[in-house]
Amino acid sequence: MCGIYGYFDRGGGGLDARVEQAMDASLRHRGPDDSGHFAVPGAMIGNRRLSIIDIAGGHQPFVSDDGRVALVQNGEIFNHVELRRELQRDGVRFASDHSDTEVLLRLYEREGLDFLPRLNGMFAIAVLDRRDPQLECLHLIRDRIGVKPLYVHDDGMRVLFGSEIKALLPAMPAPARLDLAALQHYLAYNYVPPPWTLFEGVRHLEPGCVLSIDARGARRRRWWNLAEQQPLAQDFGAWQEQFLGLLDDAVRLRLRADVPFGAFLSGGVDSSSVVALMARHVREPVRSFCIGFDDARFDESPYARDAARRFGTTHHERIVQPDLLDAWPLALWHCDQPHGDASFLPTLEVARLAAQEVKVVLTGDGGDELFAGYDKYAAVLADPALQGLDDEAFARLLVERTGLFGQDAREQLLQPWLRQRLRDVDSVRDVARPWLRQARHFDRVNQMLYLDMMLLLPGNNLVKPDRMGMAVSLEARTPFLDWRMMELAFRSPGSTKLSGGDKKHWFKRAVQPLIGEDLAMRRKQMFTVPVGEWFRGPRKAWLHDLLFADDALGSRLFQPAQLRRLFERHVDGSANHTRELRALAALEIWARRFQPAPGDA
């Protein structure tokens, strides 16, 4: 786990050394153990390292013997052992003992970018290739589903890249400006859907893609596409055997580390399944981590304790103060963008707890998006309005039902100048519809899940474990997002996932022999905190001062009367606008930290 950064200048220019140092320093939390860079006229790649594998020999960048290829990565290649053995059988020599990053370099030297489908891991990779002096090239590569982030700014002459947006800002040619189209999408989805960011000119490289940059321009291509899976009829027994076998191997591979590791354990079906399989592969008890609250409605710690006893873990638990809003500015600084999702805050707390003992944790992230674990999936399919809709209408209904501000609500909220500016920006047509077009051969359940895999995971749900873990230099690994498991999930018809309102229909039955009926069939409890109640009580004045300050970003973007109506109806109890107010508060906190120019009225 690391942070990467760098630039490629098509005119051969460079960056001031102080700017390069600022880029490096901005990612220190991602890699406090080591730092390195490789620079030539017109280009530089750098790395901040959190040492997990080959602690002594894994210094980055790795450079070819002739000095013409240099490579850095953020992440882990879980099948690096097998790939190294294969290369060694073919006579390839290694300088490190067992670094996964050097395996990437040697594969690239031999196969170019054709090696990417062979990787099982989470990664963002930068390769500077100078073997052809007439066509030097920088390749930026992102893993299949976007577990590891990678941001890019290209002004036509110079390309900047980094694991976090804050790494680009010191080298940007002008102060940050607010991307108004991305703001529209944030209000629609409750997060900024990739590839957009709220910083004008900064884009998220999409998962499963390579961006190749040279003096002529930049070319993006997709090297993996989940939509290529075709539904396959299968009986439950065969599916269960394949599912459990894949999950077991995914967990086994993700236990490869030269440092202490553990797991987040909530007592839910996903984390319990992961911990149960971890316990099969380790000699010492698994170290598990959970936080709890005094409020039983949000406290999962009793279930986590039950699971810990069942699997014999060394369990670490902390009961925290329920009001975590003082940590919100720090969480959003690490995220670089606002998120209306309040579960970032308890995730930061459990990451802090785990980081006291380990450097790596396994998590259950991805299970809900692959196998229909959220209530919203059942609610949408139960909506009579869904019946008979064509694909276009289905896309609009889905975004309206599961998003934040619907189209009419956004029209009422935005000031006239901004509404006019955004008249041609459509958050369904521009964001969701292209992905749903690729998923036409899926049933409605898998179409909903595919959209969340492409947008919600890389835009929000995977940002959470990466950024909150990296805030305390903790690596999070996600066995459910092994590429083999993702492909299995989308070969599985929607009826195996959602049946008569029963979420994770086959999943729960498959793991029941592994974790027991109580854990397998336990009703899902969201990992969140009661922000809406705080807004009506102890945080009412705080929220008011935040939203209605004279210099608030919202005062320049939103209709004052509509903003006040949302606030007053919520605090007097006549409506529940928790989600809307949470997202608007996050936007203000983010704006205070990053101070983007809001555009001209």
Domain ranges within the chain, ordered by starting residue: 2-176+200-224, 255-365+468-477, 531-594
Angle between the N-to-C axes of helices 560-571 and 540-547, in degrees from 0 to 180, rounded to the nearest 10: 170
Q: For residues 52 and 358, what is the distance between their CA atoms, to the nearest angstrom? A: 11
Average pLDDT for residues 569-593, to the nearest whole number? 97
Residue that the structure tokens 């602690």 belong to: 55
Which of 131-145, 220-234, 388-402, 407-421 is predicted with the least confidence, judged by mean pLDDT?
A: 388-402
pLDDT in tens, 340-375: 999 999 999 999 999 999 999 999 999 999 999 999
pLDDT in tens, 32-84: 999 999 999 999 999 999 999 989 999 999 999 999 999 999 999 999 999 99
Q: For residues 466 and 148, what is the distance between their CA atoms, to the nearest angstrom? A: 7
Give residue 285's identity as a one-letter amino acid code.
P
Give residue 562's identity as a one-letter amino acid code.
Q
Q: Residue 259, by phi and psi: left (phi above 0), alpha (psi -120 to 50) or beta?
A: beta
Average pLDDT for residues 483-495, to the nearest whole number? 98
Q: What is the pLDDT of residue 297?
A: 77
- How sure is the predictor about 594, in pLDDT bands with cuts at 50, 70 and 90? very high
Residue that the structure tokens 């009001």 belong to: 323
Q: What is the pLDDT of residue 388?
A: 81
**Is 255-365+468-477 in the same CATH topology as 2-176+200-224?**
no
- How sure is the predictor about 298, in pLDDT bands with cuts at 50, 70 and 90? confident
- How sure is the predictor about 93, in pLDDT bands with cuts at 50, 70 and 90? very high
Which of 93-107, 560-574, 586-600 is predicted with the least confidence, judged by mean pLDDT?
A: 586-600
pLDDT at 600 over 90: no
Q: Which of 83, 167, 128 is nearest to 336 (CA)?
A: 167
Q: What is the pLDDT of residue 241?
A: 98
CB atoms within 10 A of CB 263: 29
For the record, the structure tokens of 481 come out as 């997002």
Measured in Å, how far apart are the chain's first and last C-alpha atoms?
43
Q: For residues 259 and 447, what is the distance between their CA atoms, to the nearest angstrom? A: 39
50 backbone dihedrals φ, ψ, rounded to 5°: -100, 110
Q: What is the pLDDT of residue 345?
A: 94
- The counts of H helices and E strands in the chain are 25, 17
The superfamily CATH assigns to domain 255-365+468-477 is HUPs (3.40.50.620)
Angle at the Cα of 476 (from 436 to 63), degrees rounded to 5? Answer: 95
- Residue 69 bridge partners (DSSP): 129
Average pLDDT for residues 237-260, to the nearest whole number? 97
Q: Strands 475-477, 360-362: parallel, antiparallel or unpaired by DSSP?
A: parallel
Which of 15-19, 221-225, 368-372, 392-396 is predicted with the least confidence, judged by mean pLDDT?
A: 392-396
Which of 67-81, 308-322, 450-464 is predicted with the least confidence, judged by mean pLDDT?
A: 308-322
Q: Strands 287-292, 314-319: parallel, antiparallel or unpaired by DSSP?
A: parallel
Q: What is the pLDDT of residue 392?
A: 87
Q: What is the pLDDT of residue 299?
A: 78
Residues in contact with 163: Cβ distance below 8 Å, sequence separation at least 6, in sequence order: 2, 3, 4, 5, 27, 30, 74, 124, 148, 149, 150, 151
pLDDT in tens, 140-158: 999 999 999 999 999 999 9
Q: What is the pLDDT of residue 27?
A: 98
**SS3 sequence of 444-469:** HHHHHHHHHHHHHHHHHHCHHHHHHH
Strand order in the sheet with 43-49: 34-40, 43-49, 2-9, 158-162, 151-154, 202-204
Inter-residue contact 578 to 333 (CB < 8 Å): no
CB atoms within 10 A of CB 386: 15
* Average pLDDT taken over every residue of the chain: 95
Q: What is the pLDDT of residue 50?
A: 93
pLDDT at 322 over 80: no
For the record, the structure tokens of 224 come out as 């993996």
pLDDT at 1 over 70: no
For the record, the structure tokens of 158 come out as 């110079």
pLDDT at 17 over 80: yes
Q: Which residue blocks in 174-316 are alpha helix, DSSP H?
A: 180-189, 236-253, 269-281, 301-311
pLDDT at 527 over 80: no
CATH topology classification for 2-176+200-224: Glutamine Phosphoribosylpyrophosphate, subunit 1, domain 1 (3.60.20)
- With pLDDT > 70 as the criterion, what percentage of the chain qualifies? 98
SS3 call for 367: helix
- How sure is the predictor about 227, in pLDDT bands with cuts at 50, 70 and 90? very high
Q: What is the pLDDT of residue 525?
A: 62
Q: For residues 31 and 246, what is the distance between their CA atoms, to the nearest angstrom? A: 31
